[in-house]
């Protein structure tokens, strides 16, 4: 394996660890992908690897990522995806638990955003 491939795999492993650690914190709730990106920046890891690792984790069924939309023109181009670990809570279906966590995070954010944002 070449040195560049080894470095890429090492970077991906570090990014994966930061993503999982971030999602496991705060009671295993969902996080916006922008929060995951910020966690990577704090760890001095390249955010360009984020998409590749998110896709791999989702394909493996470890996390779920759902995209959201808000018609507010101020949010054009803003990444509104939310990710959560796919883990069962007290015997519940793991995927449904992840969907619930994502929906709760989105609903909370959207409620706060709409309560505080005024288009003028």
pTM of the model: 0.86
CATH of the domain at 88: 1.10.10.10
Structure-token match 């760890």, residue found: 43
pLDDT, residue 29, reads: 84
- Domain extent, residue 84, equals 3-116
pLDDT of residue 120: 57
Q: Is 45 helix (H, G, I), strand (E, B) or coil?
A: coil
DSSP 62-113: SEEEE------GGGTT----EEEE---STT--HHHHHHHHHHHHHHHHHHHH
Q: What is the pLDDT along the chain (120 residues), one digit of tens a residue?
A: 677 778 877 888 989 999 999 998 877 689 999 999 998 888 877 777 899 999 999 999 999 999 998 888 888 889 999 999 998 665 678 899 999 999 999 999 999 988 887 765
How many folded domains does the chain comprise?
Answer: 1
């Amino acid at each position: 394996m070449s040195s560049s491939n080894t470095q890429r795999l090492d970077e991906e492993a570090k990014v994966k660890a930061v993503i999982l650690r971030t999602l496991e914190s705060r009671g295993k709730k969902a996080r916006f992908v922008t929060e995951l990106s910020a966690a990577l920046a704090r760890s001095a890891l390249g955010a360009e690897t984020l998409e590749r690792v998110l896709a791999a984790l989702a394909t493996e069924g470890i996390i779920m990522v759902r995209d959201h939309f808000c018609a507010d023109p101020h949010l054009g181009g803003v990444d509104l995806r939310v990710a959560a670990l796919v883990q069962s809570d007290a015997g519940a279906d793991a995927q449904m638990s992840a969907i619930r966590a994502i929906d709760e995070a989105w609903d909370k954010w959207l409620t706060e955003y709409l309560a505080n944002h005024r288009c003028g």
